[in-house]
């Protein structure tokens, strides 16, 4: 038996998130279907974590175990031939026996994209959150600095399955301007994230950017650990799981800011 590590890109638009759900299209489900057809046996795929319905990924990571004996390149080609066009296995390689997509991860990087223009853009509508009122990037960056470090993030999300604690460590945050005109990208890297955490942070930071909250009010919301005080979560279609980072990976949250 060999353990394999896969890096997966997907457009989350058509899916009910990563995690397998009966009778609903999910990314995990599609990948397991493809593997079963190639390997001839049901194969459980373990992701680095869930992504919610509508959320995209540039670099979700998953592992699985198989007795596949031909080349890994052939297995990757087979997967991509059977996967729908909105899911692609970008990388597939044998992994050490003790590798675990979730437990071995040191950090994850998410990117959230806002299109900050008076008018909606048809060509960007599926891949960024359209915010009409002008956002002040400087104050959003100042507020986001409060997130860096180890904090109880209960104000911004709910515990994930199996981990009741709401304490997490954020390593880096950065808002960047990009292309096309009006595109703002929020990069956030952390050792772990609560459910809805990035979307809830972005929804609250957008209130800072539009002047509805001061940066110190943002800090107070973080400290309050009170979910009812944070802003409404930003919609899922602006969110990307950019990368899952393991021992020895180079990490840079400050990637370029371009649409899709």
The set of catalytic residues is: 52
Cβ atoms of 147 and 188 within 8 Å: the answer is yes
Which residue(s) pair with 9 in the sheet? 88
Cβ atoms of 181 and 114 within 8 Å: the answer is no
Q: How far apart are CA 44 and CA 251, in angstroms?
A: 28
Q: How far apart are CA 244 and CA 95, in angstroms?
A: 15
Burial of 80 (C-beta count, 10 Å sphere; 0-12/13-18/19+): middle
**For residue 214, how far is the Cα from the chain centroid?**
27
Q: Which residue, among 177, 179, 73, has the nearest Cα to 135 in the 3D structure?
A: 177
Cβ atoms of 230 and 203 within 8 Å: the answer is yes
Cβ atoms of 17 and 103 within 8 Å: the answer is no
Distance in Å, CB of 180 to a second copy, minimum: 6
Minimum CB distance to a second copy smaller for 10 or for 68: 10
- Give residues in contact with a second copy (CB under 8 A): 9-11, 56, 58, 80, 85-88, 90, 119-125, 127, 179-180, 256, 258-260
Cβ atoms of 189 and 107 within 8 Å: the answer is yes
Distance in Å, CB of 41 to a second copy, minimum: 26
Minimum CB distance to a second copy smaller for 54 or for 157: 54
Q: Which residue, among 118, 107, 90, 97, has the nearest Cα to 188 in the 3D structure?
A: 107
Q: How far apart are CA 102 and CA 183, in angstroms?
A: 31
DSSP assignment, residue 49?
S
Minimum CB distance to a second copy smaller for 140 or for 241: 241
């Amino acid at each position: 038996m060999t353990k394999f590590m896969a890096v997966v890109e997907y457009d989350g638009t058509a899916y009910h998130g990563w995690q397998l759900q009966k009778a609903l299209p999910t990314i995990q489900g599609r990948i397991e279907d493809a593997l079963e057809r190639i390997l001839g046996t049901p194969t459980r795929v373990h992701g680095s974590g869930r992504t919610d319905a509508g959320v995209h990924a540039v670099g979700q990571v998953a592992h699985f175990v198989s007795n596949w004996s031909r080349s890994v390149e052939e297995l990757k080609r087979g997967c991509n031939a059977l996967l729908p066009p909105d899911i692609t296995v970008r990388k597939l390689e044998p992994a050490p026996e003790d590798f675990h997509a979730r437990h071995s991860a040191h950090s994850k990087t998410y990117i959230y994209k806002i299109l900050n223009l008076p008018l909606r853009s048809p060509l960007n509508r599926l891949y960024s959150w359209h915010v009409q009122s002008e956002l002040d990037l400087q104050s959003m960056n100042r507020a986001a600095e409060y997130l860096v470090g180890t904090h109880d993030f209960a104000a911004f999300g709910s515990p994930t399955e199996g981990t009741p604690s709401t304490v997490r460590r954020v390593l880096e945050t950065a808002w960047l301007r990009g292309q096309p005109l009006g595109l703002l990208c929020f990069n956030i890297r952390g050792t772990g994230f609560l459910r809805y955490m990035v979307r809830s942070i972005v929804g609250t930071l957008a209130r800072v950017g539009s002047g509805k909250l001061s940066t110190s009010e943002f800090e107070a919301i973080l400290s309050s650990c009170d979910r009812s005080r944070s802003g409404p979560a930003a919609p899922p279609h602006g969110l990307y799981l950019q990368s899952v980072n393991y021992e020895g990976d180079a990490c840079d949250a400050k990637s370029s800011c371009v649409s899709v």
